[in-house]
Amino acid sequence: MKRQQLLALAAVPLFLASLAFPFWTARMKAPTYPEKALAMELYAYKYDGDLEEWNRVGRAVGVRVPPPVPDVFFPLFTAAVVGMGALALAGALRERWLGVAAVCPWLVLGVLMAWGQYSLYLFGHSLDPERPLRYLEPFTPPIVGVLTLGKIQTYHFPYVGSLLFVAAAALVVASAWQAGRLRLAWPRTRREAPVSAD
């Protein structure tokens, strides 16, 4: 088996394993919760974490977790991750699939981040009009970064699932690179161009 095939094959279990872990998490630290940071976690198929507790804190601010997503979000998300695994497998078996398999995960990641950021925008801009702290203006939590509301701080960052997904995507890129499917823009390609006939 060629090196490129091994690399692409190795990506398949990583893609699938990413399903078992949260792709993204938010951790809230508030003075009244010294014992733990409240967690909200996004898996490819569900939200999880201390959502009820989060909402009890969030009631004053007028937010409700988790951030809203349409019903198709989770089926699409799961299908995309499985699909990336399938593409990697296809790339390992048929070299011509490697180019697509190398590019698609990054597109998926980009779409997810954009979608996620939009959800967070909606989350911070659909405050309960009956909220006790009505002086608070609508806000947009960053998908990666820290949001501070008074003494409450919320950390948002990609998590283990994303790490596995990116690692898998990188393996497929390496595989495609080995196979010469991604060399078009690389200077060495030019150096390897046929020399003149004389």
Partner 1 sequence: MKGLLSSKTVAALLLGLLAGTLVFGIALRPFIRGGTAAASPYQRPYPMPHQYWAKTDEFYVFASGGQQGGVYVYGIPSMKALSEVPIFNEDMAWGWTAEDPEIRQMLTNPWTGELITRGDTHHPSLSKTDGKYDGRWLFINDKMQARVGRVDLDTFRTGQVLWIPNTTGGVHGFNVGPDTRLAVQNFEHEQYPEEAIRKHLGLEIDPIQGPYVAGVAGIKIAENGTMSNAWQVWGPWQFDMARIGWGKSAGWLMTTAYNTERATDAVGMFKREQDYLFFWNLASIQKALAEKKYVTTQQAPDVPVIAWKDVEVYVTPVPLNPHGLDVSPTGKYLLTSGKATTLVVAVDFEKVTQAVQEKKFIGEEYGVRILDPNAVRAATMDLGMGPTHIEFDDKGYAYVGFFVDSDIKKVPLGEPYTKLHQKEPWKVSDVLPAHFSVGHLLVPGGDTAQPYGKYLISMNKLTKDTFLPHGPLETENHELFNIEENPALLVDQMPLGPETHYSQAIPVSLVSSKAKHAYTEAKALAAEKPRVEYDYARKEVRVTMSVVRSFFTPNPLTVPQGWKVKIRLVSGETAMDITHGFALDGYNVSVSLDPGEVREVEFVADKAGVHWYYCIWFCSELHMEMRGRMIIVPQGEWAPAKETRLAL
Contacts with partner 1 by CB under 8 A lie at 3, 6-7, 27, 29, 33-35, 37, 52-53, 56, 59-60, 132, 144, 146, 148, 150-151, 153, 155, 157-158, 163, 166-167, 170, 174
Nearest 5°: CA angle at 162, between 70 and 45? 35
The least CB distance from residue 196 to partner 1, in Å, is 30
Residue whose token pair is 């898998």: 168
The least CB distance from residue 29 to partner 1, in Å, is 5
Nearer to partner 1, 76 or 98 (CB): 98
Nearer to partner 1, 188 or 197 (CB): 188
The least CB distance from residue 123 to partner 1, in Å, is 20
The least CB distance from residue 155 to partner 1, in Å, is 7
Nearer to partner 1, 89 or 160 (CB): 160
Nearer to partner 1, 110 or 132 (CB): 132
The least CB distance from residue 35 to partner 1, in Å, is 6
Nearer to partner 1, 111 or 146 (CB): 146
